[in-house]
Structure 1
Amino acid sequence: MMRRTLLAAAAALSITVPAWAAPEPGHEAMLAHRGAYRLSLDTARDTSSVTQARGVMLFEVVDACDSWAARQRFSLVLTDRDGNTVETSSDYSTLEAKDGSALRFSLTQMTEGAVTSRVSGEARATPEGGRVRYADPTPREDALPQGTLFPMIHTIRALAAARAGQRILAVPLFDGTSADGAQDTTTVMTGPWQEAQASTAFPALSSQGSVRMRIAFFDRTPDAQAGAGTPDYEVSLRYYANGVADELKMDFGDFVVNGTLGELEAVPSPC
């Protein structure tokens, strides 16, 4: 049912890709899949009031033939020093052309069940940078910086860089999670490419090489050097060659959350 729902949503978003557009090299290695992650507190900084964190993250990516349809649902319950709890959640979905030329996006964030923000719209990437048209929170259009990548293309290129022995990939990234446009990102390979190792927990990963990387996101400002200063957000993860991550560390500034893959299911292609 969830797969049909996501495919129906992808059809409704309906990205138009020119017939001559070639998919990004490496797209064929990406695994359409559904993954469930357990979330727990890793560390909290001295300035943070957070003492506990627990939750789940569900991630699904479906092959929509000329595009990738993805959905991420995130729920986290935080507990402070006084024992108070607050639940935050988000529902984020994208449809991204396989040639990296177009992205449709929608994000709804909630606290204690009440909607706190919405971001939605569509973006186009061109050699000059491209443009994004927001529908929410307010209709407007912004330019994207030259070299901007969308999420799936960024994953594919980061994996290609790691396999080629490249240690750093620094590019602007637009994922539609903010109304502030693209962010500068610096991806650092924190270890060498590892050849495939048998995975008894997840057979789909047994034949896949992997690499550990850390991705830092920086807000863009007119006078800031790309990748300089304190990241707005960081995520460390182990990516397999098929685009599946089984271990995550999400650094939100005041605290860090672990994400551990608990369930993994391949999603057959309808194409």
Structure 2
Amino acid sequence: MAWRYRVGLVVAAVALLGAGAAQAYDVAPHRAVYRMALAKAASGSGIATAEGAMALEWGESCEGWTVEQRYRLKLGYTQGGESDVAVSFATYEAKDGSSYRFFIERARPGSMPENISGKAVRGPAGVRAEFEAPEPVKLDLPKDVLFPTQHSLAILGAAEAGQKFLSGMVFDGNEVEEATEITAVIGKQIPAPTEGEELLRRPSWPVRLAFFGPDNAPGGLPDYEMGIRLYDNGIVTEMKLDYGDFVVDATLDKLEKLPKPGC
């Protein structure tokens, strides 16, 4: 398959850096569970079914942000057979944008798990990423590269400012590679509802994200795209993962508020 099992967070997108940016929004630490199902598949894609679940926990400490994400997706093929992949993703990101740590594990039935881990540190000249697994690798990245939560806060900032388009380079450590270019198209604000879950009685925006990996040719099509509904507190209720020849919907099933730190 040409597509990649990559969800790379979803709530994660460009110019708001450091603790000041993190404190500028009423971000809600939370735990969310999403149900995943096939929305559509192109003729000839070979995909017959898709089902799975995703659990996300976005936590906050006085000095940083933690993200823990787990998902499992099972695909059934038109010619018979299926594939099953489980991924766990855990990160810590300093609020001042100075450092980032990551651990990813991918597992398939009958195969040894694949682990990727490492850290990235921001210095005066740029960002140095150091992978510890699967083998030691060092990468020098531009100083304007963003980490995932910086990227999420940047999308919120752009949406609040009425911007319709945002583009930037983001490093998440999901692959042993350099930063990914992510472009965001932000739609018209949806007013806050007056009823329903308290955490969701907030304004939100439809956002379309396109991901271009380091090997993507200039002017080429994105590796994959994602449509989300993003609330001003960082919560995402709807996701549409578009891999070109098939699309998977992820819909919020459970939502729990987590405590904020008493700094």
**What residue is the counterpart of 1:219 in the other structure?**
213
Which residue of 195, 220, 226 corresponds with 1:235? 226
SS in 1 for 2:157: helix
Is 2:184 the counterpart of 1:193? no
TM-fit CA distance, 1:103: 0.8
Please list the CA deviations of residues 228-248 of structure 1 after superposition, one character each: whole Å capped at 9, or x if unmatched.
311112111000000000000
- SS across alignment from 1:243: coil
Moved over 6 A (4+): none
Specify every segment of 5 or more residues in structure 1 that has no aligned partner in the other structure, as ranges: 1-20
Determine the C-alpha separation between the residues in 2 that align with 1:255 and 1:106: 28
- Take 1:237 and 1:57, find their aligned partners in 2: how far apart are those partners? 15
Matches within 5 A, 1:37-56: 37-56=34-53
Aligned length: 245
Evaluate the alpha carbon distance shift between residue 192 and residue 235 of structure 1 in structure 2; reply closer, same or farther with a 3 A threshold: same
- Deviation, structure 1 residue 47: 3.3
1:15-34 correspondence runs (5 A): 22-26=19-23, 28-34=25-31
TM-fit CA distance, 1:65: 1.7
1:204 paired with 2:199, answer yes
Gaps of 5+ in 2: 1-17
When structure 1 is superposed on structure 2, of 80-89 and 123-132 the one drifting more is: 123-132
Identity among equivalent positions (%) equals: 36
**What is aligned with 1:105?**
102
CA–CA separation in structure 1 for the residues paired with 2:60 and 2:227:
25
Q: What is the distance in 1 between the residues matched to 2:42 and 2:113? A: 25
Q: Secondary structure at the match of 2:152?
A: helix
**Gap change, CA 1:255 and 1:116, over 3 Å in 2:** farther
Which residue, out of 240, 244, 251, partners 1:249?
240
SS state of the match for residue 145, structure 2? Answer: coil
Which amino acid in structure 1 is aligned with residue 181 of structure 2? D
Q: Which amino acid is 1:219 matched to? A: G
State how 1:88-127 maps to structure 2 within 5 Å.
88-112=85-109, 114-126=111-123
**Cα distance in structure 2, aligned partners of 1:99 and 1:27:** 13
Other structure's SS at 1:161 match: helix
- Counterpart residue number, 1:15: none
Letter matched to residue 218 of structure 1 = F
SS for the counterpart of 1:236 is: strand
1:266 is matched with 257
What is the root-mean-square deviation of aligned Cα atoms in Å? 1.9
Residue number in structure 1 paired with 2:14? none
Structure 1 residues 22 and 85: CA distance shift in structure 2, 3 A: closer
What secondary structure does 1:192 align onto? coil
If asked which structure has higher relative contact order (CA below 8 Å, sep 6+), I would say 2
Task: Give 1:6's aligned residue.
Answer: none
Q: Which of 155, 160, 166 is the aligned partner of 1:158?
A: 155
Which residue of 1 is the match for residue 7 of structure 2?
A: none
